[in-house]
Amino acid sequence: MSPDTQPAPVDDRHAHGSDAANDSRIIACILTRNEARHIQACLNSVSWTHAQMVVDCGSTDATVDLARARGAIVLHRDWDGWSAQRTFAINEAFRRGYRWIFFVDADERVPPELSTEATRVVEASDAAHAAGDTTAPVGFWVPRRNIIAGKWVRHAGWDPDYQLRLFRTDRGRYDPARPVHELVLLDGPDAHLEARLVHYNYDDWQHFWIKQQRYARIEAAARVSRGHRVRPHNFILQPWREFWRRYVTLEGWRSGTHGIILAILLAIAEFQTLRLAWANAASANQGRGGGGSRFHTPRSHPTPSPPLFVCSFLTKAGFIRSLRSRSPSQQSRGLSPPSHVPDPVPSDLPDFGNDPPDTVAVIVSYNVAPLLHECLASIAEAAEAGGITVHVVVIDNASSDHSIEVARANRNTTVVANTRNVGFGVACNQGIAIARAIGSEHVLFLNPDARLAPDALAALRTALETSPRHAIAGPDLRFPDGRPQPSRRRFPNLATLLVESTPLQWRGGGLDGSPRWPLIEPIIRRYQCADLADVPGTVDWISGACLLIRVTALAAVGGFDPAFFLYFEETDLAHRLRQSGWTCTFTPEARVFHHRSQSADQNIGARDRHYYASKMTYAARTLGTPLATLVRAEHVVLFGVEALWQSFRGNRAGARRYVALVRNLLA
């Protein structure tokens, strides 16, 4: 048979008759794709079988060559699912005259004691059947020793982990309805072996989670195809049930750190499966015009959140560090010039010749004309007081008031009128492109609802020049009445992302007169740098209401990431600058008065949607997908409970807001 031939994956053994395989010969079968690092050791461990067959689905490494060099039968078949691949292998083994097939994965090893036991039970079964004993087993369950992240896991459902891998080719077939974790349908009695198959399951926790994501996508599609109905309570009960089953019922707690990590990750994976099934079914329902679907779109989909002490425990265990994404594409995202910036450099820029302004002040405006006038006036006053040359650039994101007219009436101002709201990050990048075209050394990003004190610009400039590694200088923000407005922040960690801007903070963060919950208040105080004195110094990041940034630093990291439409764009920028060796300095001598959220609060629904979408994007970038999914699930639960509470209180508008938040988080 040619290695490139691909028969249909149908059960055709009846065409050969039941005596086509008439002795106790065993063939080992290994399904492969890019398994060069495993294939030789795996084949060595099954060399006791009468033949070894490798069914490859398109390896691009040395898998095929290594297998052939070991004397294996190598066949090629394009991937069509686990069940289809294994069915093809059974048919091929039967056609070649092998009565027994032993499926082994490339990352599994058959120790000598298992090979001895397998040979013995196969010979005994064939002898019994030859003597007319129809009760003899025709298939054998093989226990596995699962090695996960370097440790043999003996609990949480991972041991003994029986798999039906050794069976007669004329008596076993795979259920085509099971696309993942395939099921053998055996025609006859079965039995269990004692010797274990060693399974080097997952190299590390990142590898484990990548596999679980793939399984979640496959399982979600299968559930939708089966007409599975996702109901609101599923998002609470099923992940919690999975955690309880793994950690308590199956005694995962006996495996220590590995046990709790597995229980948490598998609970998150169940939530991810439900979320994908919800989205897939909703899309299918829309494609049918809303009719004929058994899927019911829920109002809210809560899921459980692990307590904060668990997060602390996992941090100490080094689990969080091991889950951080290390893919080059993620680490470098945003380090190249951002894409799809709409017409960043106007053709009518002033010609400054060899004497460009020191600073370009970039203001991204959206329907705040009265405050924009004050903002522009404060820039002119601060520039004159500090003896700094400034050119103002107003990027208007399709305002419907007279913001553009206010901007055009201002002296030394370039106005870019976008025809749609392109988001804060993209608009800032338009301003950066203009600053680079002009040749300025600094960019002042100032919200249109902010006003500089007369000496603020000079103080920021002085602070920036105190160190060549300072990329950003940020001021002391104040409300218009002079009250402090916290502007310094530490980079959000897992605890921060679980608590910040959730009912946990609003009810227990100790802010605005709220109670001070022992576990919550320290997280918020740390995040907002409440433990630091109001003195100049390096901080992680500063609110984007007012920032003075070096143009060279912006060019080094590619400016703002367009993935952040609104919110967290300055956090992400500061994080990437820190990774590139730059720092951010707090300048209390520079005072800026900020009304805060005058543009964003015009549409609360859109503000909420953009805020939490950006928060989830930042979580995925910095913590990795598994922990970002945990944050998302915890938010779903908190906002779902808050929606119920507001409804109970009769606050229908508040309930609708939190229901919308839940839906957005599950979209």
Q: What is the pLDDT of residues 243-299, one digit of tens each?
A: 889 988 998 888 888 888 888 889 888 988 988 888 887 776 665 554 433 333 333
Mean pLDDT of 452-475: 96
Same domain, 80 and 189: yes
Domain annotation covers residue 22? yes
Same domain, 152 and 194: yes
Domain annotation covers residue 360? yes
Per-residue pLDDT band for 352 (boundaries 50, 70, 90) equals: confident
**Higher pLDDT, residue 388 or 327:** 388
pLDDT value of residue 328: 33
Same domain, 506 and 418: no
Same domain, 578 and 483: yes
pLDDT value of residue 512: 62
Cis ω for the linkage preceding 160 (within 30 of 0): yes
d(CA 75, CA 617): 43
Domain CATH code at residue 358: 3.90.550.10
Q: Name the residue among 433, 458, 444, 465 with its Cα closest to residue 339.
A: 433
Same domain, 391 and 508: no
Q: What tokens does 80 get?
A: 């069509």
Same domain, 436 and 579: yes
Mean pLDDT of 503-507: 88
Mean pLDDT of 409-425: 92
pTM of the shown model: 0.58
Report pLDDT digits (tens) over 9-35. 445 554 444 444 457 799 999 999 999
186, 137 contact by CB (below 8 A)? no
Computed from CA positions of residues 507, 511, 517, 520, in that sequence, does the dihedral angle turn out positive or negative?
positive
pLDDT value of residue 181: 66
Report pLDDT digits (tens) over 143-179. 999 999 888 999 888 888 899 999 999 999 888 877 6
pLDDT value of residue 324: 41
Per-residue pLDDT band for 601 (boundaries 50, 70, 90) equals: low
Q: By percentage, how much of the chain surpasses pLDDT 90?
A: 54
Domain-ending residue, one of 331, 366, 401: 331
Per-residue pLDDT band for 3 (boundaries 50, 70, 90) equals: very low
Same domain, 122 and 54: yes
Q: By percentage, how much of the chain surpasses pLDDT 70?
A: 85
∠ CA(296), CA(302), CA(305), 5° rounding? 155
Ranges 87-91, 110-114, 300-304, 515-519: which has the least confidence = 300-304
pLDDT value of residue 603: 76
pLDDT value of residue 340: 42
Same domain, 316 and 288: yes
Report pLDDT digits (tens) over 569-589. 999 999 999 999 999 999 999
pLDDT value of residue 498: 93
Q: Is the pLDDT of residue 311 over 60?
A: no
Domain annotation covers residue 435? yes
Ranges 86-100, 186-200, 613-627, 640-654: which has the least confidence = 640-654
pLDDT value of residue 349: 84
pLDDT value of residue 598: 62
Q: What tokens does 325 get?
A: 């994404």
The count of structural domains within the chain is 4
Domain annotation covers residue 506? yes
Q: Is the pLDDT of residue 5 over 70?
A: no
Mean pLDDT of 200-223: 86
Per-residue pLDDT band for 438 (boundaries 50, 70, 90) equals: very high
Domain-ending residue, one of 176, 202, 228: 202
Domain annotation covers residue 634? no
Q: Is the pLDDT of residue 188 over 80?
A: yes
Domain annotation covers residue 609? no
d(CA 407, CA 365): 9
**Higher pLDDT, residue 388 or 302:** 388
Mean pLDDT of 318-347: 43
Domain-ending residue, one of 331, 363, 394: 331
Per-residue pLDDT band for 468 (boundaries 50, 70, 90) equals: very high
pLDDT value of residue 478: 94
Query: What integer best gives the mean pLDDT of the chain?
Result: 84
73-76 and 100-103: which strand pairing? Answer: unpaired
Report pLDDT digits (tens) over 471-498. 999 999 999 999 999 899 999 999 999 9
Range of the domain at 391: 344-488+533-596
Same domain, 93 and 192: yes
Report pLDDT digits (tens) over 81-113. 888 899 999 999 999 999 999 999 999 999 999
pLDDT value of residue 492: 95
* 3-state helix, strand and coil shares in percent for the chain, rounded to the nearest 5: 45, 20, 40
pLDDT value of residue 344: 57
Same domain, 382 and 515: no
pLDDT value of residue 336: 37
SS in 3 state form for 449-482? CEEECCCHHHHHHHHHCCCCCEEEEEEEEECCCC
Residue 42 exposure: Cα atoms within 13 Å on the Cβ side: 26
Same domain, 310 and 444: no
Q: Is the pLDDT of residue 45 over 90?
A: yes
Which residue stretches of 409-540 are H helix?
A: 424-438, 456-464, 494-499, 503-508, 521-527
Same domain, 552 and 504: no
Q: Name the residue among 532, 383, 536, 511 with its Cα closest to residue 446.
A: 383
pLDDT value of residue 207: 83
Ranges 185-194, 252-261, 341-350: which has the least confidence = 341-350
pLDDT value of residue 445: 97
